[in-house]
C-alpha cells in the first residue's frame, strides 16, 4: 500500500484552454500536478511504479466557505482526475490500471490524503 499525505490545496481538473490546435492547462493546475508529483515521489521512496490493477482512495480537505452556496469546491470526479493525472508514471505506469476509485470531500485544513493498493 502506498500512502500520500499532501499538504496542498485541492485543485480540480480544469477544462483545457486552446489556441488553434494547441491545448494547455492553467498554470495553477500545472503547479498543483507538479507539487503532488513531488509528494508521490517521496512516498514511493525509489520504488518502481505499480504494474497491476489498482484501488485508489482520495480524501480532499478544503476550508469551509463563508458563503454556504459557494461553488468554488469543484466536482469530486474532477478532483479525482487531477490526482490520477499527477500520479501517472510515478505511482503506476498508466491511470488505466485504476479499476476501483473513490473520492471524498471534507471540510478542514486543506490537504489531500491518498491511498493506493495494488489488487491481487
- Does residue 53 lie within any of the structural domains? yes
pLDDT the model gives residue 120: 84
Query: What's the CATH code of the domain at 86?
Result: 3.30.1330.70
Q: Is the pLDDT of residue 18 over 60?
A: no
Look at the chain and report how many structural domains it folds into: 1
Of 9-13, 85-89, 110-114, the range with the lowest mean pLDDT is 9-13
Q: Examine residue 94 and state whether it is found in any structural domain, yes or no.
A: yes
Residue 17 inside a domain? The answer is no
> 52-67 pLDDT, tens per residue?
999 999 999 998 877 7
What is the rounded average pLDDT of the residues 82-109? 96
Does residue 18 fall inside a structural domain?
no
Full domain range(s) for residue 53: 2-11+25-118
Q: Residue 101's Cα: distance from chain center in Å?
A: 11
The torsion angles phi and psi of 17, rounded to 5 degrees, stand at -85, 160
Report d(CA 59, CA 113) in Å as an integer. 5
How far apart CA 114 and CA 64 sit, in angstroms, is 21
pTM, to two decimals: 0.87
Amino acid at each position: 500500500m502506498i500512502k500520500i499525505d499532501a499538504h496542498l490545496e485541492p485543485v480540480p481538473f480544469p477544462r483545457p484552454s486552446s489556441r488553434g490546435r494547441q491545448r494547455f492547462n492553467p498554470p495553477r493546475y500545472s503547479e498543483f500536478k507538479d507539487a503532488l508529483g513531488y509528494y508521490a515521489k517521496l512516498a514511493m521512496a525509489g520504488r518502481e511504479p505499480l504494474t497491476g490493477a489498482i484501488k485508489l482512495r482520495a480524501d480532499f480537505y478544503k476550508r469551509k466557505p463563508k458563503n454556504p452556496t459557494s461553488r468554488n469546491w469543484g466536482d469530486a470526479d474532477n478532483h479525482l482526475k487531477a490526482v490520477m493525472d499527477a500520479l501517472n508514471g510515478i505511482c503506476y505506469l498508466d491511470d488505466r490500471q485504476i479499476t476501483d476509485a473513490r473520492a471524498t470531500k471534507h471540510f478542514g485544513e486543506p490537504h489531500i490524503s491518498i491511498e493506493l493498493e495494488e489488487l491481487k
